[in-house]
Structure 1
Amino acid sequence: MIPPLADLIDSARVVALPLHTRFRGVDTREALLFEGPEGWAEFSPFAEYADAEAATWLAAAIDFAWRPQPAPLRDRIGVNATVPAIGAERVPTLLARFAGCRTAKVKVAEPGQTLAEDVARVRAVREAMGPEGRIRVDANGLWNVDEAEHAVHALSEFDLEYVEQPCATVPELAELRSRVKYMGIPVAADESIRKSSDPLAVAREKAADLLVVKAQPLGGITHALQLVTAAGLPVVVSSALDTAIGLSQGAALAAALPTLDYDCGLGTASLFQDDVADRRPVDGWIPVDRAAPDGAALDRLSASVDRRDWWLARLTRCHEVLAAR
């Protein structure tokens, strides 16, 4: 059962959050927020996603707003800093926004950039964080196997915690994992989980050492927990550049996991100039308590009328998709 569309629209607010640095091709992150019996939730699939995929994000938001969530097993979540594909000279300023974080995820393989730029960026992160900091890199599936192997060798001197989605396909991940296993650098799968019709293929084909999971793309916390249990691999919970509302859903997922051995990618509020609530890391942690938007922030960050209309039309279409499933 899903609530009537009118119940979603009644409290719907569309917001546009400006970023400090261009990230994932956007300077402003848009999201639609609504309130249900359990609290506020976020619907924010990226603009290029088709309705069939975006509807799964809506299912996650409805689940979070309308249904009780699993009991938390911890009251705070350790988080990583996120370093976009910026010049190495900008790294110290960016890391300073992630208060107390001792892990950093560094974007690499940016179209139009070179491996030398990736190496310089990761070196700058290592210099800023010192030998005890943990560094993971994320290629978003943009390398082929040979490119990925070459890149892992080039970056190995920086003591990588793992390399996330170095290649696009499960067979490529499995091949790369076999090539670099002797180096002791784990392979993590992200897009091969959240954008796959068979998310368990990664575990079945032994293509990754750990999973990166996100609550919204997986249809909500309960579905994500079921996937994690079936896969039987360690997990990192991450965000999809969420507002504070979406981050609190991610924190609830991380808090419900039986084991959590890695810092999570839920510190991305520090990438925003402004947000509907404050979920920036403090001493490298974020709380598990549920976020609610500040009224003044909702007004301040309201999207334009045409963008609000665009999101409400999308909400309507995705609601129809869910109703037909």
Structure 2
Amino acid sequence: MTLPPLDDILGSLHVVALPLAVRFRGVDVREAALFEGPEGWTEFSPFIEYDDDESATWLAGAIDYGWRAVPQAQRNQVPVNATVPAVAADQVATVLARFDGCRTAKVKVAEAGQTLDDDVARVREVREIMGPDGRIRVDANAGWNVDQAERAIHALAEYDLEYVEQPCATVDELKDIRRRVKYAGIPIAADESVRKASDPLAVARAGAADLIVVKAQPLGGLHRALDIVAETGLSAVVSSALDTAIGLRMGAALAAALPTLDYDCGLGTASLFRADVGDSRPHDGMISSERIAPDAAALKTHAADADRANWWRARIERCYRVLENADGVV
């Protein structure tokens, strides 16, 4: 579709700053820009450190959700996982208690400044709380080299891992670690090697992953993400990037449109917030794929200050120019 006029985006813009209950990705407050298109409210929320070229893809994703009809849903409810940040083991129970009914947990590992012993203790505690029937996946966010990943996966294997997400940074490293740990029967998932790659299909062509993690905003929208899943031919886990309630429903719409949904989705992260612009928290381990509008009172209560709002407005303008100078089509 052709880019909508910039004024149509900025005219309904609200920038919010939402407090987190648990520190995540080094932040205690999550900022996001929300605006309304013909199809409804949408979200633009690339992380602060991302440059304009990368962030422009997120803007394309926000426009896709606000200006194009969502694909046909195959389901109205989407199963989601709990997300356990790189907290101390004695904080795990408090975190898991926030995720109503979730029987899968994604545990962050390979955090800078922490050790493998910290990771093992955290995963062990999750297994103890969830019991033998709970599913545990770990996410290293490319924090290990191949040798470190092999040692870590060996140490964590006894806790019956569903899969290991992005243990290493490059496609070649993923291919190597997948070969090394094949004996353990633990699948390797690719996240950053898909959403941050110039060629998101390279990981599948190389045979470097058993499944892929897809996120609507970073991939340029629901429609492009669905195309990528289809072209890779791999099972997909739909996840989020610490989105607000609006962005989580975007992700849920993507998950709802997949022909098959083999894994619980990483769309339960509203439970990490102290406050939000709507309710997209998991209930009985599920979230709805229905689009929602932000609560007017919440937009006011959690509005970012003027300086931050102006910063986001200027960022949207720059990212819009990136899209405009590319081909003007999203």
Coarse TM-score class (shorter-chain normalised): over 0.9
Aligned residue number for residue 27 of structure 1: 28
- Does 2:160 match 1:159? yes
Following TM superposition, by how much is the alpha carbon of 1:281 offset from its aligned partner in structure 2, in angstroms? 0.3
Mapped to 1, the partners of 2:259 and 2:305 lie a distance apart of 42
Aligned residue for 1:147, secondary structure, equals helix
Aligned to 1:110: 111
Give the secondary-structure state (helix, strand or coil) at the position aligned to 1:203: helix
Structure 2 Cα separation of the partners of residues 307 and 111 of structure 1 = 28
Equivalent in the alignment of 1:277: 278
SS in 1 for 2:181: helix
CA distance in 1, matches of 2:61, 2:244: 15
State how 1:265-304 maps to structure 2 within 5 Å.
Answer: 265-304=266-305
Question: Residue 309 in 1 paired to residue 275 in 2?
Answer: no
What are the Cα deviations for residues 232-260 of structure 1, in whole angstroms up to 9, with x where unaligned? 00000000000000000000000000010
Q: Distance in 1 between matches of 2:91 and 2:259?
A: 37
Question: In the alignment, which residue of structure 2 is the partner of 1:244?
Answer: 245
Q: Is 1:91 the counterpart of 2:111 in the alignment? A: no
Separation in structure 2 between the aligned mates of residue 66 and residue 198 of structure 1, nearest angstrom: 25
In 2, the alpha carbon distance for the partners of 1:105 and 1:291 equals 26
Distance 2:282 2:70 in 1: 23
TM-score, normalised to structure 2, is 0.98
Looking at structure 2, the residues matched to 315 and 247 of structure 1 have their Cα atoms a distance apart, in angstroms, of 20
Q: Which residue of 2 aligns with 1:11?
A: 12
Q: TM-score, normalised by structure 1?
A: 0.99
Kindly provide the CA deviation profile for residues 95-115 of structure 1, in whole angstroms up to 9, marking residues without a partner as x: 000000000000000000000
Please give the alpha-carbon distance, in whole angstroms, between the structure 1 residues aligned to 2:129 and 2:293. Answer: 34
CA distance in 2, matches of 1:20, 1:64: 28
- Answer yes or no: is 1:78 the counterpart of 2:92: no
Q: How does 1:173-322 map to 2 (within 5 A)?
A: 173-322=174-323
Do residues 48 (structure 1) and 49 (structure 2) align?
A: yes
Query: Where in structure 1 do 4 or more consecutive aligned residues deviate above 3 Å?
Result: none
SS of equivalent to 2:127: helix
Find the aligned partners of 1:291 and 1:178 in 2 and give their Cα distance.
Answer: 43
Q: How many residues align?
A: 325
Q: Alpha carbon RMSD of aligned pairs, Å?
A: 0.5
Distance in 1 (alpha carbons) for counterparts of 2:65 and 2:282? 22
- How far apart, CA to CA, are the structure 1 residues paired with 2:200 and 2:3? 24
* CA positional deviation for 1:59: 0.6
Structure 1 residue runs without a partner (length 5+): none
Work out the CA distance in 2 between the residues paired with 1:238 and 1:289.
17
Please give the alpha-carbon distance, in whole angstroms, between the structure 2 residues aligned to 1:132 and 1:67.
40
Distance 1:308 1:98 in 2: 31
Q: Which amino acid aligns with 2:263?
A: Y
Q: Which one-letter code corresponds to 1:230 in the other structure?
A: E
What amino acid maps onto 2:283 in structure 1?
V
Q: What's the offset of the Cα at 1:306?
A: 0.3
Q: 2:25, 2:292 → 1: CA distance?
A: 24
Q: How big is the shift at 1:198?
A: 1.1
Aligned to 1:97, what secondary structure does the other structure show?
coil
Which residue type is aligned with residue 114 of structure 2?
A: Q
Question: In structure 2, how many angstroms separate the alpha carbons of the residues matched to 1:216 and 1:25?
Answer: 21
Shift of residue 21, structure 1, vs aligned partner = 1.2
Counterpart AA for 1:134? R
Q: Percent of counterpart pairs with the same letter?
A: 69
